Structure formats: structure tokens, C-alpha cells
Chains A and B, each alone.
Chain A
Amino acid sequence: MTEPTNATYSLENAKSQMRKGFLEFPVLLLIATESTYAPDILTSLKKANLLVVEGTIYPLLSRLRKFNLVTYCWEESKSGPPRKMYTITDKGKVVVEELQTSFKEFTTSINSLIKNYEKNN
């Protein structure tokens, strides 16, 4: 067994670990709700306090597109160059359904653990 370290536990790091790999689901969910642009996705994520830095979204969208979960088309914009409008694909819809189910199960079990903790404290 290693000695416990004196280094301060980084709460930010823990939160970042929680967000890691998790961000895909809310992004998919937003695109599945309605076709949307990256800035609008960012606004929603920020409102929900799910995002720290905005740059994260671009590699993520690129990866979702690579796995053919989302697709985009160029939409003309009145106030500048065309923008990418992201739309969910059929494959993406299936993934959203599956993630939704497992996330609901996940929240139920975490919530019951939290409730149990609150009861005993």
C-alpha cells in the first residue's frame, strides 16, 4: 500500500474527469432535439454548466461526424460566411436512444446512493 499523499486533491480535476467522455451524450441530445449550429450548442451547454472551455466542442463534433452519428450541411447566413448546421443521423438516433436508457439507469442508481448518504448524515 502506498503512503497517502499530501498533495491537495483537485476538485476541478475531479469535475473534469466526470465531464470527460460524458459530454458526447448531451451534445448528441441537443442535435437530436433539433438541427443546430455549434454556437447554439455551446450556449445550451454553458447554461447547463456542462462545459468549461468552448474549444472542446469542435474535436467532439468532428468525432461524432466521423462515426456517422451526426452530419452537417452548410447554411447560408445573413451576417457572415455560411455556417455548419448539424443534424442527427439514423445511426445517431439509435445511439441517443441507447444512451438515454443507460443514463436514466445510471442517474437512478447514483441518486439512490446519494439519498442513502443523506439519510445517514
Chain B
Amino acid sequence: MKKITNITLGKRIFAIEIAAHDELETYLKSIETRFAGDADKDEIASDIETAIAEKLTAMGRGSDSAITREDIEVIVKEMGTAEEVVGEAEEQPTAATTTKRKLYRDSEDKIIGGVASGIAQYLGVDPVWVRLFFVLAVFTFVGIILIPIYLLLWLFIPLASTTAERFSMRGSRVTLDELKSQVKEMVGNETTNSGIERLTVVLKRVFLWLGTVLRSVWAVTRSVLAALLFLVGLLGAIGLTSMYLIFLLADKAWLAEGMRIPLEQALSTPLGFAFFLASFLVFFIPALVAILIGALILFKSRMLGVGKLLLLGSIWLIALVTSITASALYLDKYGTEIKDYIGPQIYEFADWRERDIDYHKPF
């Protein structure tokens, strides 16, 4: 008596013995690992799965006749092991073991952003040395330019998140054999006690500790900065709105006559009103964005997406262009009048000493 389970393979249902299932799974995994660097790996794997399913159907296997270990052995012999499949298919035998190395950030080994470990993978050295370089460099004059460079690298180097990306980050495809040798190496490392390796271990611990400290410091700093951003944005938005409301209600609000009259005059023309509205947006949108970004960090809200940011950005740009154009056109049209009216008042206000010039022409 043997225990069986059900699987789907190439969209067909099969009953399979547990032992055979494990064997089949190992085989399919080894195929997937071999093709991890291939853009069409999913398609190749599913093609092979379908082919195996067709073979099994031809052998009379299905939901009422379970697949045995012997069946799997026959199939693997006919299909070929992962090594055989790749060996026969590749144009160059070497292409199976190395892929072109690309610069990625290492998602599984990071202290801050994974930049150092990504560079280390690219150079083929232990991340500890790149980190040591970064930390030592920060304390020299190079540090001033290094920090923005680090931030830029963080921004522009993609994170290796898929298996295929991790393989091309290392510049090699990890095969089952390589995995085994890696495990052996790791085990071996604990017994070897050369000075450089002990230093590596110590440095690794230091960087891990440093990472924890930096992360908690950053968490606090980020919240404080976000709260400041939120507050500044909020106060700015309120201030701006009340200021523009006063402008808008100029005839009712208490404003010095010298300010009220040109303001009313400006708002009564389409150009002046366009400038008024556009310039409000030019200042209001940054305040709004500050509020939203602050809220995003503080409350992890999802109010601000890339789409909204782009929309706000384009409105801001249009408003900027409109306000510049409108003000230029307005000044071109009414500039002399304004100068004639405001000029003397400013001089009065400043208690200008050279009163002998007569500015008091009628408006």
C-alpha cells in the first residue's frame, strides 16, 4: 500500500505516489533553476510540464492510475536532466554558468539601502569591505559628496527582487551543485580562523549593529521631519488662503487705500484676475504637497500616489506659466498706471527725503 496525492500538470489531473511526487518536484525545480536567467523561463518550464503531462497520459496515467517512481525515472531519462537539456540547447557551453553581471541593490543583505552590498556583488568582494570604505570615507572630506552620491545610487540602482535579478546581480546562475558548494563553504568558514576572516565576522557584526541603530534613528528623524513638513504645509495653506481671501474681498476688508485701489482695479480686469488665481495655485500646490507627503509618512496614508503627484505637478506648471504670462501682459498694459499710482505712496511710506520730485499726478 502506498500513499498517493493529486496534482495538476499541464492542466490535467494526475494521481501520484508521494515518493514520485517528490522526485518530480525536484526535477521540475532543477529545470527552473537552470533557466532562471532566461526571460522565457516560465514558458520553457510550462512547455516541459505540458510535455511530461502528455507523456504520462500516453502511458495511461491519470486520476485513476497513479504515477509511480519508475514512471518519473522513465520520463526524466527521456526528457533529460536539467544539465543535459541546457548542455544540448546552448550555443556556447560556457553560457550556462555565467550571465552578464548587472548592478543591483541586494534586497537580502542591506544595512541602509543595499547599495554597498550590491556594489560588492558586482565587484565580487565581501560587502563588508565596501561598507568599511563608505564609513571611513564619510569621515574624510570625500564624505560630503559621498552622501548625496549614496542617495542617488539608492534611487537609481534597481533592487534585485526576483530570482533572475539576483542571479544576474551575482553574475552566475545558481545551480544545485553551486548551492551545495556554497553551503559547504559556509560550514567551512566556521572552522577556518584566519585573521582576515575573523575581522570580516567582527566587521559584519559591527555593521549589523550600526544598521539597527541607524534604522531606529532614521525612524525617529523621519517622523519629526514629516510632522514638520505637515505643519509647515498646513500653516502655509491656511495663511495663503486667508491672504488671498482678503485680496479677493478687498472692497469689504480693511485695507489701506493705497493697497486696496490698485488691487480692486487689478481684480476687475481678466488678466489681473487670471494672475491672481494662477499665483494662488503656484503657492498653494507646494503647501498641499507638503501636507500630503507629511501625512503619507506620518499616517502611512495612501492619499498621494504618483498619478496625483503628476497631476498636481502639471497643474502647478500650468499655473506658473499662466501667472508669469498674465503678470507680464498685465504690467505691459497697466504698468505705467501702477507705477504712477503706487510709486509716490511707496516714497511716502518710506518717508523719502527727496520730496522735490512731484509724483502726485492724478491716477
Contact = CB atoms under 8 A, between A and B. Distances in A.
B94 to A, nearest CB: 12
Interface string A50-63: 01111110111111
Contacts of A23: 88-89
Nearest to A56: B88
A16 B53 CA distance: 27
A109 B1 CA distance: 62
B208 interface: no
Interface in A70-109: 79-81, 83-84
Contacts of B11: 80-81
A62 B44 contact: yes
A52 to B, nearest CB: 7
Interface residues of B, number: 31
Contacts of B86: 59
A55 B40 contact: no
Contact of B91 (A20, A39, A56): A20
Q: For the complex, would chain A's binding face be called helix, strand, loop or mixed by DSSP majority?
A: helix
A4 interface: no
Interface in B1-22: 10-12
Contacts of B78: 53-54
Interface in B39-53: 39-40, 43-44, 47-48, 50-51, 53
Interface in B91-147: 91, 93
Contact of B44 (A16, A39, A54, A59): A59
B35 to A, nearest CB: 7
Interface size class of A (residues with CB under 8 A): 20 to 34
B12 A60 contact: no
A23 B89 CA distance: 8
Contact of B47 (A51, A53, A61, A81): A61
A53 B84 contact: yes
A23 B53 CA distance: 24
A80 B38 CA distance: 28
Contacts of A61: 47
B228 interface: no
B80 interface: yes
Given A53-B80, A54-B80, A80-B54, A16 B88 contact: yes
A56 B87 CA distance: 8
8 contacts: A20-B93, A39-B54, A54-B51, A56-B88, A58-B51, A63-B89, A66-B39, A83-B50
Given A52-B88, A53-B78, A54-B79, 9 more contacts: A38-B51, A55-B82, A55-B84, A55-B85, A56-B80, A56-B84, A60-B89, A62-B38, A62-B43
Closest 5 CB pairs of A and B: A53-B80, A55-B85, A56-B88, A55-B79, A58-B47
